[in-house]
Amino acid sequence: MFHRLTHLVSCREATRWLSQGEERPLSLSERVKLGLHLRVCEACSRFAAQLRLMREALGRYRR
């Protein structure tokens, strides 16, 4: 079951949505698919955390 959910959306797509989420509101469908993917994909969850850290680092860079 989890295996199938992971493959509803690929890591390639998930990372694009994670990035685009900073610029535009994701659609309901995108949010649901992304949320399910992140629950089962450790690599993309890690990527999401790293995106947040980079944003934080760039924030401190200008302060």
Partner 1 sequence: MPSAEGRTSCGLQSRADTPFALTFVLRGVAARGFCRPRILQPAVDSDPFAAELETHRRYLLRVAQLQLRDQDVAEDVVQETLFAALTGRDGFSGRSSVKTWLTGILKHKIVDVIRQKARQPVIEATFDEETDLEDFDALFRDDGGWAAPPADWGDPENALSRREFFDVMEFCLEKLPAKTARVFMMREVMELESDEICKELTITANNLWVILYRARMALRECLERHWFSGQARA
Answer yes or no: are the C-beta atoms of 17 and 34 closer than 8 Å: yes
Q: If we measure between CA atoms, which residue out of 28, 39, 27, 33 comes closest to residue 14?
A: 33
Site for partner 1, residues 44 to 63, rule: CB under 8 A: 44, 46-47, 49-51, 53-58, 60-63
| Total number of residues that touch partner 1 (CB under 8 A) | 29
Q: Is 40 in the site for partner 1 (CB under 8 A)?
A: no
Q: What gap in Å lies between CA 31 and CA 34, rounded to an integer?
A: 5
Binding mask 9-38 for partner 1 (x = CB under 8 A): -xxxx-xx--xx-xxx--------------
